Amino acid sequence: MANPLTLLMPVVPNTSPATIANALAAQQSAIETGLTNVGTVHFSRFLLLDSSQPNLQPTGSSSDNLVLGVITEYDGDFDVYIQDFVDQIGGVFDALLVFVVGGEKLTPVANNVAALTTFIQQNDASQNPSEPSLYSAYPQTVQQILAAFSQP
Amino acid sequence: MSDTPIDYSDVQGTVLRGYRVDLARHFILKITDSAAAKRLIGSMVDGTAGMPQITTAKRWSSKPEFFVNIGFTCQGLKELGLTPGQLSTFDQGFQLGATSPETAKTVGDVGNSAPDRWIGGLSDGMSVHAILSLWVTDDPIVLEAVTARLREAFEGGMEELSSHDARALPDNRIHFGYRDNIAQPTVSGAPPRKHPIPDDQPVVKTGEFLLGYLNEYGSTYKVDPVELSTNSSYSSFRILEQDVAGFEAFLEKYAEQAKIDPETLAAKVCGRWRNGNPLELMPDGAGTPLPLSELNDFTYVAADASEDDTLGLKCPIGSHIRRNNPRNGMVVGTDSTHHRIVRRAMPYGPDFDPKNPDPAARGLIGHFINGSITNQFEFLMGQWDNTSTFVKSAVGADPDCLGNAVFNISGDDVFVGVNEASSSSFTLAECGKKGSNNVEIEGFSRMITTRGGAYCFLPSISGLRYLAASSIATD
């Protein structure tokens, strides 16, 4: 059964959504390659919100209230695989954490795995005990699904 | 070669060199007087006052009669004066210790293997402060003489909670009958083995086994204080009792079920025949022992269908050696080079006579060495030995042999896994879509019980001097 990650990170004040969008676009290939290599992530997406807006949607202008979210569903134990995650996708973390409040001191993440783990735990809304548990339509792992469809 | 040359004289020998000995004795120690313990450590580092000297990794001109190394638990380092802040910089698993419930669950020390059943005082993790290991080349008189000297020196500073002997069996065998000590990682910058057993696997970064050097993640494991960092390491000390009669009964029963002979089943669960020959090179029979130059020279995945064993038809993906080192087999996360281990274990207990089976305790005892207990020893036990979901989807090179690696492994490692009878399983793979022709044997129980353990920090030689000379920190 997969586990959820709902990482919500306040963005450094006066950052424009376009800056973050461009950074994400530049990392897209590395994200896809890295997550495929890790092999435990079912789905992953980024989300940008503006907590100063009534509908939480960014307007396009710079804001002091942006929130960068990382939402994934993954197999296995996050803490156990964090070092392998960092190995496969650490460059993406480094590129994005510069936009996050308190993020720069975590970079390069390869040298700050314990601090990164703590930071993620503190900002992962899914770890809040009051959050409802994840619904999954299937119990299989990513690799079991890929294997099931690997041959006709 | 390592990026930074290793000063062998500053590294405890067992981290980088395998001592080929007949005898060993491991002392489980509690520090009763920190100042006296520090004096003892200092005298052992320098070999003063007739004390056995801590063995370094420096090359010896003639083989010593004995070798000595020492490791400290987290509680032991605290007794020696490290502050909570300093200890918080050490490996996470090391900080928790081998007896913590979280650790026990991670590595499968549950049921009869649970820490509360451990022997020799090891169940009380807070009282286990140091493991001093003595290896003796071949002379029992030397073993007893050095022991006597050590015990004299322990007085007033360390209490000996217990000691545990090991004894080599002929031909490097272990009690389950397998030839052991074949494969070890090739560590960058480490001295070569006296009798090389080459393989085609990548050389592993120095930092996977020594703090202060680059590891496979491009970072460096280090601790505070800096004096304890470079050239130190960690080990998981384990006492593993082997149920030899139970193993032989397992082979007889399940070989019949699987319609193979018991020796073939023994090879399948291990990955090697009991004479050491790997299934990957000798899939059809044990044959005569291969020379050292060939014994470890194989891998699992190949583009050529005649050599490829992606699906584990020759060497099961769930076999012991393949689980603990998948080589070029694909796994989730990263790969095998990020989770290697150095094994320094020897048999203990009397020989087993199948004609006169007895319940005497026998098994394996020693150290499993790594730069990170969390990411190496615990990762192997928790992710590769006690689950089957770490294998990546992969089809074989032969298009006529249907199947996928994911479906060709089940259960836990037959040797070191938990193997609850209600869920235990081992897969013998055959060609067939989604493993439809696989044979699975099920319902067997655990045959190796953990009887003791401790997580140790192995300080460098300069680190030992630092510990010996440091003052006890005050709040």
pLDDT tens profile B85-124? 999 999 999 999 999 999 999 999 999 999 999 999 999 9
The average pLDDT across B266-287 equals 97
% of chain A surpassing 70 pLDDT: 100
Q: pTM for this structure?
A: 0.96
The average pLDDT across B285-311 equals 96
| A101 compared with B197, residue with greater pLDDT | A101
Indicate which of A3, A36, A84 best probes the interface with B, i.e. most B CBs within 10 Å of its own CB.
A84
Contact B443, B426 (CB under 8 A): no
Query: Given 3-state DSSP classes, what are the helix, strand and coil percentages for chain B, each rounded to the nearest 5?
Result: 30, 20, 50
Using omega within 30 degrees of 0 as the cis cutoff, is the peptide bond preceding A108 cis?
yes
Residue A151 sits at the chain B interface (C-beta within 8 Å): yes
Indicate which of A1, A78, A150 best probes the interface with B, i.e. most B CBs within 10 Å of its own CB.
A150
Strand residues in A1-84 grouped as ranges (E): 3-10, 41-50, 66-74
Of all residues in chain B, the one with the smallest CA distance to A77 is B383
**For residue B375, which residues of chain A lie inside 8 Å, CB to CB?**
83
% of chain A surpassing 90 pLDDT: 84
Chain-chain contact of A40 with B375 (C-beta, under 8 angstroms): no
Chain-chain contact of A39 with B333 (C-beta, under 8 angstroms): yes
**For residue A84, which residues of chain B lie inside 8 Å, CB to CB?**
332-334, 338
Amino acid at B327: R
**For residue A114, which residues of chain B lie inside 8 Å, CB to CB?**
92
Chain-chain contact of A110 with B392 (C-beta, under 8 angstroms): no
Contact A67, A51 (CB under 8 A): yes
Q: Compute, in degrees rounded to 10, the torsion defined by CA atoms B314, B317, B323, B329.
A: 90
Q: Which helix H or strand E contains B235, and what residues bound it?
A: strand B233-242
Q: What span, in angstroms and rounded, lies between the C-alpha atoms of B19 and B12?
A: 12
The average pLDDT across B121-140 equals 98
pLDDT digits (tens, 9 = 90+) for B251-274: 999 999 999 999 999 999 999 999
Question: What are B131's two structure tokens?
Answer: 């493991």
Question: What are B260's two structure tokens?
Answer: 């193979």
Of all residues in chain A, the one with the smallest CA distance to B91 is A114
Chain-chain contact of A141 with B391 (C-beta, under 8 angstroms): no
Distance from CA of B347 to the nearest CA of A (A): 31
pLDDT band at A133 (very low <50, low <70, confident <90, very high): confident
Of all residues in chain B, the one with the smallest CA distance to A148 is B434
Chain-chain contact of A83 with B375 (C-beta, under 8 angstroms): yes
Q: What span, in angstroms and rounded, lies between the C-alpha atoms of B366 and B413?
A: 19
Of all residues in chain B, the one with the smallest CA distance to A110 is B219
The average pLDDT across A88-93 equals 93
**For residue B379, which residues of chain A lie inside 8 Å, CB to CB?**
80
Considering only CB atoms, A150 lies closest to which of B220, B379, B395, namely: B395
Contact B214, B228 (CB under 8 A): no
Q: What span, in angstroms and rounded, lies between the C-alpha atoms of A118 and B271?
A: 39
In this structure, how many other beta carbons lie within 10 angstroms of the beta carbon of residue B279? 25
Q: Is B436 helix (H, G, I), strand (E, B) or coil?
A: coil
Residue corresponding to tokens 């009051």 = A130
The average pLDDT across B199-211 equals 93
Interface A:B, Cβ pairs < 8 A = 73
Distance from CA of A140 to the nearest CA of B (A): 10
Q: What span, in angstroms and rounded, lies between the C-alpha atoms of B392 and A38?
A: 10
In this structure, how many other beta carbons lie within 10 angstroms of the beta carbon of residue B347? 23
Please give the pLDDT value at position B472: 54
Please give the pLDDT value at position B324: 97
**For residue A80, which residues of chain B lie inside 8 Å, CB to CB?**
379, 382-383
Contact B203, B184 (CB under 8 A): no
> Which residues have CB under 8 Å from B70's CB, separation 6+?
B12, B41, B44, B54, B130, B131, B132, B133, B458, B464
Please give the pLDDT value at position B474: 41
Q: Is B348 helix (H, G, I), strand (E, B) or coil?
A: strand
Q: Is B66 helix (H, G, I), strand (E, B) or coil?
A: strand
Using omega within 30 degrees of 0 as the cis cutoff, is the peptide bond preceding B225 cis?
yes
Please give the pLDDT value at position B1: 43
pLDDT band at A130 (very low <50, low <70, confident <90, very high): confident
| Whether pLDDT at B310 is above 80 | yes
% of chain B surpassing 90 pLDDT: 93
pLDDT band at B18 (very low <50, low <70, confident <90, very high): very high
Q: What span, in angstroms and rounded, lies between the C-alpha atoms of B411 and B316?
A: 12
pLDDT digits (tens, 9 = 90+) for B25-53: 999 999 999 999 999 999 999 999 889 99
Considering only CB atoms, A38 lies closest to which of B220, B332, B407, namely: B332
Distance from CA of B405 to the nearest CA of A (A): 8
Considering only CB atoms, B392 lies closest to which of A84, A85, A143, namely: A143
**For residue B404, which residues of chain A lie inside 8 Å, CB to CB?**
147, 150-151
**For residue B224, which residues of chain A lie inside 8 Å, CB to CB?**
none
Residue A148 sits at the chain B interface (C-beta within 8 Å): yes
Q: Which of residues 68-127 of A touch B (CB under 8 A)?
A: 75-77, 80-81, 83-88, 110-111, 113-114
Of all residues in chain B, the one with the smallest CA distance to A113 is B219
Please give the pLDDT value at position B354: 85
Please give the pLDDT value at position A128: 84
| Whether pLDDT at B475 is above 50 | no
**For residue B371, which residues of chain A lie inside 8 Å, CB to CB?**
none
Q: What is the mean pLDDT of chain B?
A: 95
Of all residues in chain B, the one with the smallest CA distance to A90 is B217
Of residues A1, A7, A150, A152, the one with CA closest to residue A92: A7
In this structure, how many other beta carbons lie within 10 angstroms of the beta carbon of residue B471? 9
Count Cα neighbours of B173 within 13 Å in the Cβ-side half-sphere.
15
Chain-chain contact of B332 with A146 (C-beta, under 8 angstroms): no
Of all residues in chain A, the one with the smallest CA distance to B334 is A84
% of chain B surpassing 70 pLDDT: 98
Distance from CA of A54 to the nearest CA of B (A): 40
Residue corresponding to tokens 């009964």 = B249
Of all residues in chain A, the one with the smallest CA distance to B373 is A80
The average pLDDT across B196-213 equals 92
The average pLDDT across B308-317 equals 98
In this structure, how many other beta carbons lie within 10 angstroms of the beta carbon of residue B216? 21
Q: Sort B82 into a burial class: Cβ within 10 Å, 0-12 / 13-18 / 19+.
A: buried
Q: Is B59 helix (H, G, I), strand (E, B) or coil?
A: coil
Question: What are A46's two structure tokens?
Answer: 């980024």
Of all residues in chain A, the one with the smallest CA distance to B336 is A84
| Whether pLDDT at A47 is above 70 | yes
* Sign (positive or negative) of CA dihedral A127, B91, A10, A71: negative
Chain-chain contact of B393 with A146 (C-beta, under 8 angstroms): yes
Please give the pLDDT value at position A131: 82
pLDDT digits (tens, 9 = 90+) for B179-196: 998 989 999 999 988 888
Contact B453, B237 (CB under 8 A): yes
